[in-house]
C-alpha cells in the first residue's frame, strides 16, 4: 500500500520542520559552550582596570571619592553573561554580590564603592568607606564560588599582577 501524495507532502513538511528545529538548537549549544570552559567556568569574564584609593583625590566617606574607586569587570566574549550571584572580594574579605545583571558581550561594567543608581555600565556597592587599599587583591568568583579571576596591585614593584584562573 503506497502513501497518497498529500500524506507524502505532509511527512516531508514534518521532517523539514524537524530539521530546522534541530539546526536552530545547534547554535544554542554553542552559545552555552562560549560562556563556560571545559571545567564549567566562565572563560570570557575577567577583571579589567582597577582604580583604588591611592588614585583617588581625597580619602574618607565622601560619595564622590568613594565612586572614584572601582573595579572593572569585562566580558571578552561575544555573548552576554548573567552575573547574578557572582562576587567581588578584597583581601580583607569585603564582598560585593552582583544582583541580577546581564553583562553584554564585548563590554564592561565598573563596580564603584559608593552609592549611585545602577546602570548597564556602572554598579554601586553602596558602601560608606573605601575598601580597595593601596596594596590589595580583587577576586572575582562565579555563582558557584569558583575563582574566575584575580587582580593584585601595590606590591614592591608597584605594578598590578593579573591572574586569570580559567586558562
Res 32: pLDDT: 40
Assign 135 a pLDDT band (cuts: 50, 70, 90). very high
Instruction: Give the E-state strand segments of the chain in sequence order.
Output: 45-51, 70-75, 81-82, 87-89, 95-97, 102-103, 107-112, 122-124, 136-141, 147-153, 161-164
Ordered DSSP codes for 137-167? EEEEE-TTS-EEEEEEE-STT-S-EEEETT-
**Could you name the CATH architecture of 45-164?**
Sandwich (2.60)
Grid coordinates representing 108 are 564592561
For range 41-50, the mean pLDDT: 88
| pLDDT class of 138 with cuts at 50, 70, 90 | very high
Judged on CB neighbours under 10 Å (0-12, 13-18, 19+), 22 is exposed
- Give the integer Cα–Cα distance in Å for 139 and 137: 6
Lowest mean pLDDT among 3-17, 60-74, 107-121, 127-141: 3-17
For residue range 72-102, list pLDDT tens digits in order: 999 999 999 999 999 999 999 999 999 999 9
Residue 145 has pLDDT above 80, yes or no: yes
Confidence of residue 52 (pLDDT cuts 50, 70, 90): confident
Amino acid at each position: 500500500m503506497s502513501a497518497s501524495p498529500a500524506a507524502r507532502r505532509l511527512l516531508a513538511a514534518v521532517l523539514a520542520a524537524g530539521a530546522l528545529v534541530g539546526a536552530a538548537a545547534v547554535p544554542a549549544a554553542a552559545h552555552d559552550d562560549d560562556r563556560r570552559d571545559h571545567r564549567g567556568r566562565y572563560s570570557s569574564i575577567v577583571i579589567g582596570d582597577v582604580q583604588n584609593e591611592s588614585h583617588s583625590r581625597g580619602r574618607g566617606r565622601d560619595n564622590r571619592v568613594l565612586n572614584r574607586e572601582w573595579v572593572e569587570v569585562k566580558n571578552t566574549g561575544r555573548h552576554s553573561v548573567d552575573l547574578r550571584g557572582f562576587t567581588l572580594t578584597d583581601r580583607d574579605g569585603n564582598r560585593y554580590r552582583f544582583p541580577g545583571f546581564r553583562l553584554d558581550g564585548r563590554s564592561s561594567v565598573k563596580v564603584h564603592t559608593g552609592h549611585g543608581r545602577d546602570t548597564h555600565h556602572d554598579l554601586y556597592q553602596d558602601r560608606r568607606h573605601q575598601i580597595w587599599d593601596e596594596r590589595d587583591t580583587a577576586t572575582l568568583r562565579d555563582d558557584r564560588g569558583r575563582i574566575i579571576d584575580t587582580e593584585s596591585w601595590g606590591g614592591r614593584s608597584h605594578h598590578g599582577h593579573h591572574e586569570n584562573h580559567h586558562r
